[in-house]
Copies of this chain bind each other. A is one copy, B any other.
């Protein structure tokens, strides 16, 4: 089908096969580049080129590549920035091998080894090997999922993946899925680039269906929020969520025109679970001020704590207020595949929408989040069309998504669900939760560390507190407690930075109110245990390293000053 002669000689673009025009000397470089350009679209990297060799190295041994090519010792950010300092568009094309050398030395070497067993500070999960060759298939096809004309079988596949997630959460009948899975007028959910977009999508649909068209009123989607509030006789909208809600909810409230201050952050109990009674009270108060409750958001796997809100109670509250109940299970969702732990998410099946990230505990590469809707007509509230694509009645998934052009990431979720299977995920999840429990026990038993709370899933928080201070804190008065915690906050910050800079292991840090300190905010380490290669030995090493770091002169000084 492709005539290589023509491809390599693009100047011969005339109907009558006219000869290639003769170019003068000033065009010599451009001519050379022209040929090079055709080559980059038609001639692959040979295995013996620099880039070909790297490609093979990754294919042969991913963990080896990451361990060998990423340097462990921190290069200062200033120094790294110096390698990316100019804003000029490069004028002359560069050889692929030269560019590859640059990438290996300046970029790869100074990346973060997020798959390292000791990198337990963020929700970064390692990739199963099959993800790389399957990703190559996905990239080679370069489909665009916004419309079926550029995605074909990928569109049914994406609908199936959304169906699987829907099934995981809602477990509807076979007939339900037969009627809805490939129904052009229905959407079981929306595939997004991540959990933030998924949460925004859920709240967008919640807002637009709450203030829907009614009689002569064309609805919020058409006329905007101010007109909609006026029509419905409301003085504002509020989103109810725990104070431990993900920051994307505040961002969603900004984007959607609700306002960040109208995300009502409700206090939590000692396990970082939202206080439903307090939320009920706030709802009543808001209603008395004529503020509409736009959504109640529950958390299933808090970003900082891994905690799960009392979802059944929240569902009941949402029903009382006839409002949308959204569950942010970006992290915790896959727990539903564990027979042992799924009970912890009880009530999630009552949610109107649920966010689950595939690039977290489904072990898919970065850039894959989903939101599923109990009612497959709900996304109709945000449906949109265009003349050249997304025509009414088409199966184009772009009709229901906040994003436009999208890659075929759903293929990688489809692959993971099949190759790992529910049983496989169950094992990984059970191991992670057990590891968190064991690590919590280890911390609790250690004289120099303080555990914040028993972990519910596989995330936990703790801090370094010398034994003497732990003892003192047990009986200290309020002023002294505040004084000690202020210093410990600085210790936590300093220790986390030192540990990060040393590059051996990594925990993150955060800050939130602690029940045991009268709900004063305290800085703590945050550990996320989802890497199957992390062992108890790794975790022992983390604590050992931190104990060593406590000998840092600054840290010793801070603690000594406390007297």
Contacts and interface: CB of A to CB of B under 8 A. Distances in A.
A510 B130 contact: no
A558 B510 CA distance: 69
A375 interface: no
A198 to B, nearest CB: 9
Contact of A42 (B63, B112, B402, B423): B63
A494 interface: no
A99 B134 CA distance: 10
A533 interface: yes
B87 A59 contact: no
B107 A411 contact: yes
Interface stretch (A152-160, A317-325, A449-457): A152-160
Interface in A109-166: 109-112, 114-118, 121-124, 126-137, 139-144, 147-154, 156-157, 159-160, 163-164, 166
A227 B110 contact: no
A337 interface: yes
Contacts of A94: 418-419, 421
A281 interface: no
A114 B132 contact: no
B93 A421 contact: yes
B423 A160 contact: no
A167 interface: yes
A403 B188 CA distance: 22
A195 B156 contact: no
A224 interface: yes
A30 B86 contact: no
A6 interface: yes
Given A80-B153, A91-B423, A143 B114 contact: yes
A290 interface: no
Contact of A262 (B70, B224, B404): B224
Given A41-B129, A142-B366, A512-B387, A87 B177 contact: yes
A370 interface: no
Nearest to A10: B431
A119 to B, nearest CB: 9
Interface string A388-428: 11100001000000111111100100010111111110111
A80 to B, nearest CB: 5
Contacts of A45: 59, 129-130, 132-133
Contacts of A177: 86-87
Contacts of A250: 384
Contacts of A129: 40-45
A38 interface: yes
Given A2-B117, A112-B150, A366 B143 contact: yes
A167 B89 contact: yes
B58 A143 contact: no
Given A103-B134, A144-B366, A422 B89 contact: yes
A455 B59 CA distance: 45
Interface string A416-449: 0111111110111001001100100010000000
A107 B387 contact: no
Interface in A357-376: 357, 359, 365-367, 369
Interface in A486-515: 500, 506, 508-512
Contacts of A537: 3, 6
A386 interface: yes
A549 interface: no
Given A42-B533, A91-B422, A141-B66, A256 B257 contact: yes
Given A108-B141, A126-B41, A52 B153 contact: no
Contacts of A369: 405
Most buried by B among A62, A147, A511: A62
Interface string A3-34: 10011001001110000000000000110011
Contact of A422 (B90, B163, B532): B90
A310 interface: no
A99 B143 contact: no
Interface string A289-323: 00000000000000110000000000000000000
Contact of A384 (B108, B131, B254): B254
A398 to B, nearest CB: 9
Contacts of A141: 66, 70, 108, 111-112, 114
A153 B111 contact: yes
Q: Which 10 A-B pairs have the closest CB atoms?
A: A257-B257, A224-B259, A196-B404, A87-B163, A225-B257, A388-B510, A247-B386, A87-B177, A366-B407, A110-B153
11 contacts: A2-B63, A13-B535, A52-B133, A62-B140, A80-B153, A86-B177, A93-B423, A107-B411, A110-B153, A196-B404, A227-B236
Given A200-B402, A257-B257, 8 more contacts: A41-B126, A41-B532, A84-B156, A87-B177, A108-B137, A122-B147, A226-B236, A250-B384
